[in-house]
C-alpha cells in the first residue's frame, strides 16, 4: 500500500473528493435509476416492472400533461435567462472591463446577489412583492402607477415570468464576472490593429470581441442550462406561497418533488417513488445530452492566438 501511494501520490489526495462525490452524487443517481424500474407501495419497493414508470411519465394521464408542461416551463426559464444574460449581462461586462476605478465597486455590487441563498432570495422577494404592503407595491403607488400593483405571484399569467426575473437578478453576477474574465483574455493588440485599419466600435465587437468570446458564452450557457433545469429552491419557496392551484410555475424539479413526497400547498399525497425516479432519470438524460453537445460545440469554437 505504501509503495502504491508513493507511486501514485495524486490519487491519494484525490481519494477524499472521489469518495464524497460518489457518496452524494453517483450513489443517488444510480439509486434513482434502479428505483425507476420498480413499482412502489408508498415507500415500500415491490416488483420489477421495467420501463412502465417511464411510460406513465411520458404517455399516461395525469403525469404526461404535468411533465410536458413542466418541461416547457424549464425551457422558457432557460431561454429567457439566456437572452437576458447574453444581452444585458454582456453589455454590463463590457462596461466593467473599462479601466475606471468605480467599475470595481459596481462589479462587487453586481456579484453580491449571487452570494445570497436561494431560499433567502425567495422569501425576500415574497415580502417585496406582497400586493398589500410590499415595498414594490408601495413604490408603484407612490409614483402614481397603482394600476401596476397586482399579485404577481398569484396570477397564472405572471407568476412564472416573475420568478424567472427574480432568478436572473440573483444569477446575474456570475455571467457578468465570467464574461469580464473572457474579455480581459482578448489581446489588446488585435483591437489596436483593427482601429489602425479603420474599424469602429461595432466592428471591434462584431469581428473581434464576439468571436473570441464565443467559447466563454457557450460555457456560461451550458452552466445556465444545467442550473435552470435543476432549479428547485426558489420556485418551491415562491410557489408554495403563491396559492396557485394550476401549477403555472411548475418545473421538472418541483414536479419530481410533489410526485415523490406530495404537494404541501394542496395536501395531495405523494409516495410515487418509481414515477418520481423516472422523472429524475429523464431530467438527467436531458441535462447530460445538452451538456455533452454544448461542450463539443465549445471545443470546436476555441481559438488559439
Q: Which of 13-22, 34-43, 282-291 has the highest mean pLDDT?
A: 282-291
DSSP-assigned letter for residue 263: B
3-state percent breakdown (helix, strand, coil) of the chain, nearest 5 = 75, 5, 25
The answer on pLDDT for 213 being more than 50 is: yes
Q: What is the rounded distance in angstroms from the CA atom of residue 129 to the CA atom of residue 264? A: 22
Give me the pLDDT at residue 2, please.
Answer: 64
pLDDT at 26 over 60: yes
Q: State residue 269 phi and psi, 5-degree precision.
A: -75, 150
DSSP of 18-54, one letter per residue? HHHHIIIIIHHHHHHHHHTTEEEETTEEEEE-TTHHH
Summarised one tens digit per residue, pLDDT across range 167-185 is 999 998 899 999 998 888 8
Q: DSSP characters for 99-132?
A: S-HHHHHHHHHHHHGGGS-HHHHHHHHHHHT-TT
For the chain, what percent of residues have pLDDT higher than 70? 90
Is the per-residue pLDDT at 241 higher than 50?
no
- Cα separation, 191 vs 253, whole angstroms: 45
* CA quadruple 237, 243, 247, 248: dihedral sign: negative
Q: What is the pLDDT of residue 79?
A: 94
Question: Rounded to whole angstroms, how far apart are CA atoms 66 and 48?
Answer: 25
Query: Which residues are within 8 A (CB) of 227 and not within 5 positions of it... i.e. 6 or more apart?
Result: 171
Domains of the chain by start residue, with CATH: 51-301 (1.10.3720.10)
Q: Cell numbers 490593429 label which residue?
A: 193
pLDDT, tens digit, for every residue of 74-112? 999 999 999 998 899 899 998 888 877 777 788 888 888
Distance CA 255, CA 57 (A): 11
Question: Mean pLDDT over all residues of the chain?
Answer: 83
In sequence order, the 6+-apart residues with CB closer than 8 A to the CB of 3 are: none
pLDDT at 72 over 90: yes
Determine the average pLDDT of the residues in 272-289: 90
Closest C-alpha among 243, 282, 283 to residue 264? 243
Amino acid at each position: 500500500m505504501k509503495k502504491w501511494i508513493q507511486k501514485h501520490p495524486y490519487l491519494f489526495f484525490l481519494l477524499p473528493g472521489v469518495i464524497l462525490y460518489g457518496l452524494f452524487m453517483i450513489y443517488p443517481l444510480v439509486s434513482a435509476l434502479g428505483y425507476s424500474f420498480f413499482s412502489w407501495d408508498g415507500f415500500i419497493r415491490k416488483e420489477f416492472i421495467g420501463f412502465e414508470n417511464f411510460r406513465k411519465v411520458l404517455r399516461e394521464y395525469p403525469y404526461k400533461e404535468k411533465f410536458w408542461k413542466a418541461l416547457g416551463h424549464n425551457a422558457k426559464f432557460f431561454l429567457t435567462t439566456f437572452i437576458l444574460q447574453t444581452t444585458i449581462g454582456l453589455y454590463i461586462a463590457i462596461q466593467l472591463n473599462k479601466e475606471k476605478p468605480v467599475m470595481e465597486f459596481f462589479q462587487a455590487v453586481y456579484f453580491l446577489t449571487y452570494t445570497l441563498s436561494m431560499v433567502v432570495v425567495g422569501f425576500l422577494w415574497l415580502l417585496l412583492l406582497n400586493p398589500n404592503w410590499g415595498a414594490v407595491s408601495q413604490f408603484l403607488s407612490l409614483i402614481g402607477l397603482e394600476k401596476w400593483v397586482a399579485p404577481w405571484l398569484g396570477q397564472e399569467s405572471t407568476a412564472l415570468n416573475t420568478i424567472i426575473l427574480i432568478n436572473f437578478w440573483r444569477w446575474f453576477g456570475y455571467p457578468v464576472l465570467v464574461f469580464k474574465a473572457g474579455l480581459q483574455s482578448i489581446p489588446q493588440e488585435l483591437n489596436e490593429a483593427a482601429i489602425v485599419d479603420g474599424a469602429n466600435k461595432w466592428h471591434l465587437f462584431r469581428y473581434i470581441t464576439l468571436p473570441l468570446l464565443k467559447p466563454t458564452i457557450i460555457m456560461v450557457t451550458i452552466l445556465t442550462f444545467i442550473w435552470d433545469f435543476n432549479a428547485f429552491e426558489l420556485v418551491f419557496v415562491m410557489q408554495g406561497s403563491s396559492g396557485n392551484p394550476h401549477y403555472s410555475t411548475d418545473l421538472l424539479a418541483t414536479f419530481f418533488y410533489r410526485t415523490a413526497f406530495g404537494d404541501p400547498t394542496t395536501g395531495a399525497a405523494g409516495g410515487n417513488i418509481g414515477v418520481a425516479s423516472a422523472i429524475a432519470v429523464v431530467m438527467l438524460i436531458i441535462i447530460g445530452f445538452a451538456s455533452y453537445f454544448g461542450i463539443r460545440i465549445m471545443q470546436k469554437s476555441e481559438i488559439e492566438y
